[in-house]
Amino acid sequence: MNNQRLVILLLLIAYIFSPTLFTWIINPEGAWFRPYIIWALVIVIAYAVQNRKKRPHDL
């Protein structure tokens, strides 16, 4: 149940800030690596969530 609350909260935050984030990413005066920062964050968060769920007997 606790993981569901976290996912819902993250989705709500992503939904609220998505217009601002999208504008920040596609800004022509911005750095070329901005979209990669977002993808790197997504990968790091997914990795952290997966490793947190592992138990010693799952190895």
Percent of the chain with pLDDT over 90: 8
- Interatomic CA distance for residues 9 and 3, integer angstroms: 10
Q: Report long-range pairs for 2-9 (Cβ below 8 Å, ≥24 apart).
A: none
| pLDDT value, residue 54 | 63
On whether the CB atoms of residues 34 and 25 are closer than 8 A, the answer is yes
Give residue 56's pLDDT band: very low, low, confident or very high (50, 70, 90).
low
Report helix, strand or coil for 50: helix
- Other CB atoms within a 10 A radius of the CB of residue 12 amount to 10
Closest CA to 2 of 59, 49, 51, 56: 49
